[in-house]
Structure 1
Amino acid sequence: MKYSAEKKKAIVLYILEKISSGTQSLSSVVAEAFGISTNTVHSYLNELIADKIIEKHKRGEYALVTERNSYLFQRNAGELQSDMIAYEKCLKNQISHLGENVKHIWEYALSEMVNNVIDHSGAENMQVIVAHNYFKTYVCVLDDGIGIFEKIKAHFSLASLDEAVCELFKGKLTTDAARHSGEGIFFTSRMMDSFLISSDGKIFTTTKYSNDNFLSVDEDTDGTCVFMSLSNFTNRTAREVFDAFSNDDGGFTTTKIPLKSIFDSAPVSRSQAKRICNRLESFEEVVLDFEDVSWMGQGFAHQIFVVYKNLHPEVSIKPINMGPDVESMYLHVTKGS
């Protein structure tokens, strides 16, 4: 059966997505998803192989044909002055054929991450690794400077690196307020399909990270490593990400905190809650995402939803993705408050 160009494109992109994520029994999964035969799926796979978009490793296993390049920038050579240098040299030509929305996201994201290296890390060397295939583009920025979490911990006199990671999730965090708004990492992490920072033995990520067969992250690496990936076919725009966390005047007024990314286990204590509440008054609305958090302690819930709320009634705190046990505790502490 001959399908419309639109349906064929949807099938092909689905195939590429499943290959990228390492899906097993690929032909059966695709056939079931679209109600087509496995023979049809195989014909599409053969076309993709002929076009050098994918390659077959062994029976039933495929991989995207990916080009990878590495670039080194050195401060003493005058190469760490412009935050656009990596985008212009490493990425611009590789993504010139992609949609304007994709190019805008990458231009913003890479320039912001490079700016952090230039202005904050004190690094002498920066390495940028770019890998791209038909479906996705990956960028890794590594530096040999002071680790980002250690820099935040020292600047704000925080008790631990975990507190530094927590503060980074909220946004509006900078160690150089005279020159920076503290928004770059927050917005970049929301624009990407995958975003991860590894430094000082700690990891910051707003996504369900997977290596995508591109990069194995070493949590004990010196300096800072930033990993980003984005589908070449995404419909996301930089503007819609900014708007999601801004008011009508364009101000950065809303933050979203994924609790599962901050706590290894269910949050229970008032001290954990106080860590979350630090600086929340910088925002008009705070979204607390409880996805994959199975339970929370009474002290944690009471400190945020009663104590902090009474102290700062001007801040709207909105819990989302609450499971039954989390919602039960939320209702318990807020009853009558």
Structure 2
Amino acid sequence: MFTNEKRESIKLYILEQIHNNNSNIAKLTSEKLQISLNTVYRYIREMISNNIIARDSSSKSKLKLIEKTKLVNYKASDPLEEDRVYINDVEEYIKNFPLNVRTIWEYSFMEMFNNAIDHSEASNIHWYIVQNYLNTTIIIGDNGVGIFEKIKKYYEFTSINDAISELFKGKLTTDKEKHSGEGIFFTSRILDTFCVLSDGKIFTHNSYTDILENLEDIESLKEWNDKPGTEIVMSLSNWTKKNLKEVFDMYSNDDGQFIRTQIPIKNMFENGYPVSRSQAKRLCRRFDCFKEITLDFKDITEIGQGFAHELFVVFKRAHPDIKINIVNESENVRKMINHVTLG
């Protein structure tokens, strides 16, 4: 007799194989989990009976996850409050999850929906959910001015790419009297997938290739780059062990002050690698808002001498109290940093 934990682990493993479109799932599960084929088939029949999975119409031997979807539209002129929207319309899809998952969704949805209410200047706001037994995806969209364009104009940046780059750092807002600029920063780090689509551009910490592939599976986003306004796509495993407090603690001091940030260099320089002093100066913009900065050089094969010198010598001399950490650097990146700092 299996324990409840063991039974749930068997179900989740089968579902993950279905989600990944693996073939011969029964044999794979039997061998991996060392259970009989009859046991695997029993679990599959049970999940079909419980409307968790179904036979794919394209093939009797193929299985698919059953998805629930819902689209809700609002007029921005109506009195909208993010907590009431969540409690009245969204919570029914989240309420049976573990506390850590409920907490993450409550925070993430309310922060992003409030942004749409306060900043988008939209006439319409909507949210859309796609949910199966494994994962939940929620999209919040509007037909407003577009988040990147609004940031660009407010801060008088020269390009939309500059606005996107600043979002990676955090503490960025176009309404300092009412907002701290922390919502997108923490939401983007706690969820499994988070991306902002606007003005034909993407802000995300995830792989751009993975994001584009995932967008193709969502009917309402297939022509996202031609739509006005902003679409925020958020996904989270229904079984995640993530904890919102742990993410806050990673970037805060003992008093709860937001003093640390981490920046994925690859995502900021997606069309190449950083070379020039000007690029380094834009990267360092608003670094003085933090006491500790981690630069993640994952997938960056090299950097230019001017970029490295401006960042690790010129900026460091001017701001000796700001700690800069380097992670995931390649050998070439490490050599260039040593070249400018060690002489």
TM-score, normalised by the number of residues in structure 2: 0.89
Q: What percent identity do the matched residue pairs reach?
A: 44
* Of 254, 278, 285, the match for 1:248: 254
Shift, 1:274, TM fit: 1.5
Deviations 1:125-174 (A, max 9, x none): 10111122221111101101110000000000001000000001100000
Report the CA distance shift for 1:335/1:42 in structure 2 as closer, same or farther (over 3 A).
farther
8 Å Cα contact 1:305/1:333 also seen in 2: yes
Shift, 1:327, TM fit: 2.2
Task: Tell me what 1:228 maps to.
Answer: 234
Task: Tell me what 2:123 maps to.
Answer: 124
User: Does residue 1:181 correspond to 2:180, yes or no?
Assistant: yes
Q: Which amino acid aligns with 1:169?
A: F
Helix, strand or coil for the counterpart of 2:175? coil
Q: Which amino acid aligns with 2:176?
A: A
Q: Distance in 2 between matches of 1:296 and 1:23?
A: 39
Task: Tell me what 2:337 maps to.
Answer: 330
User: Where is the helix percentage greater, Structure 1 or Structure 2?
Assistant: 2
**Within 5 Å, which residues of 2 pair with 1:64-83?**
64-76=65-77, 78-80=78-80, 82-83=81-82
Deviations 1:97-122 (A, max 9, x none): 11111111111111111111111111
Task: Tell me what 1:192 maps to.
Answer: 191
Q: Which amino acid aligns with 1:141?
A: I
User: Does residue 1:275 correspond to 2:273, yes or no?
Assistant: no
Q: Distance in 2 between matches of 1:259 and 1:30?
A: 39
Report the CA distance shift for 1:42/1:293 in structure 2 as closer, same or farther (over 3 A).
farther
Helix, strand or coil for the counterpart of 2:54? strand
Q: Distance in 1 between matches of 2:205 and 2:169?
A: 11
Helix, strand or coil for the counterpart of 2:94? coil
Q: Distance in 2 between matches of 1:302 and 1:207?
A: 28
Q: Distance in 1 between matches of 2:95 and 2:253?
A: 32
Which sits farther off after the overlay, 42-51 or 224-233? 42-51
Q: Which amino acid aligns with 2:214?
A: N
Task: Tell me what 2:225 maps to.
Answer: 219
Q: Which amino acid aligns with 2:70?
A: N
8 Å Cα contact 1:90/1:130 also seen in 2: no
Which sits farther off after the overlay, 144-153 or 49-58? 49-58
Shift, 1:40, TM fit: 5.3
Helix, strand or coil for the counterpart of 1:173? coil
Report the CA distance shift for 1:313/1:8 in structure 2 as closer, same or farther (over 3 A).
same
Q: Which amino acid aligns with 2:65?
A: L
Shift, 1:36, TM fit: 5.6
Report the CA distance shift for 1:327/1:26 in structure 2 as closer, same or farther (over 3 A).
farther
Q: Distance in 2 between matches of 1:270 and 1:32?
A: 55
8 Å Cα contact 1:284/1:316 also seen in 2: yes
8 Å Cα contact 1:87/1:107 also seen in 2: yes
Q: Distance in 2 between matches of 1:287 and 1:16?
A: 36
Task: Tell me what 1:155 maps to.
Answer: 154
5+ long unaligned stretches in structure 2: none
Q: Which amino acid aligns with 2:23?
A: S
Which sits farther off after the overlay, 85-94 or 96-105? 85-94
Report the CA distance shift for 1:270/1:29 in structure 2 as closer, same or farther (over 3 A).
farther
* Of 276, 294, 299, the match for 2:301: 294
Q: Distance in 1 between matches of 2:46 and 2:92?
A: 26
Task: Tell me what 1:263 maps to.
Answer: 269
Helix, strand or coil for the counterpart of 2:138? strand
Deviations 1:289-322 (A, max 9, x none): 1122222222222221121111111111111111
Helix, strand or coil for the counterpart of 1:93? helix
Deviations 1:33-67 (A, max 9, x none): 54566665454333322321112212554321111
User: Does residue 1:239 correspond to 2:242, yes or no?
Assistant: no
Report the CA distance shift for 1:306/1:228 in structure 2 as closer, same or farther (over 3 A).
same
5+ long unaligned stretches in structure 1: none
8 Å Cα contact 1:254/1:286 also seen in 2: yes
Q: Distance in 2 between matches of 1:67 and 1:224?
A: 23
Report the CA distance shift for 1:33/1:118 in structure 2 as closer, same or farther (over 3 A).
same
Report the CA distance shift for 1:207/1:26 in structure 2 as closer, same or farther (over 3 A).
farther
Task: Tell me what 1:10 maps to.
Answer: 9
Report the CA distance shift for 1:203/1:30 in structure 2 as closer, same or farther (over 3 A).
farther
Task: Tell me what 1:25 maps to.
Answer: 23
